[in-house]
Amino acid sequence: MFARAMKEFIKADPKDVNHTSFVGYLQCDYELLFNSFSFPNDRTRDDEWRSGDQKTRFEWAFKIKGKKLTVITIYDYKDPRPLEDIDMWHVGLKGDQKELETFFREQHLFVMTTTFNTD
């Protein structure tokens, strides 16, 4: 038996997150996300990360290269609380659902998705 190497993920660019869709929730605090992924993108600033509809203030965005590009986002959707108080995050995806599951499993995080895998 052998251990499978973790897939490499890199921070996504603003254009990469276009057309990602909500797929579930991640329940954890900001400190855990910060320790795992560093600072989120500030979607309130006037730069390329600015939220077009102003419903998201903070977002982490990653891409995983595989057979096809997979983009994963973790964000605060319509949550008015201060960043440090948020404990339920939205998760977005563009690409392979299995890559999303592997990504969070490798980070030792559990995502409650809106679809159930029956494999």
70-73-74 Cα angle (round to 5)? 150
Which pLDDT tens digit goes with each residue over 27-70?
Answer: 999 999 999 999 999 999 999 999 989 999 999 999 988 788 89
Q: Which pLDDT belongs to residue 57?
A: 95
Q: Which pLDDT belongs to residue 115?
A: 63
H-helix segments, 38-109? 97-106
Taking the C-alpha atoms of residue 79 and residue 88, their distance in angstroms, rounded to an integer, is 9
Closest Cα to residue 12, out of 95, 115, 88, 87?
A: 95
Q: pTM of the prediction?
A: 0.87
- Work out the number of other CB atoms within 10 angstroms of the CB of residue 52: 7
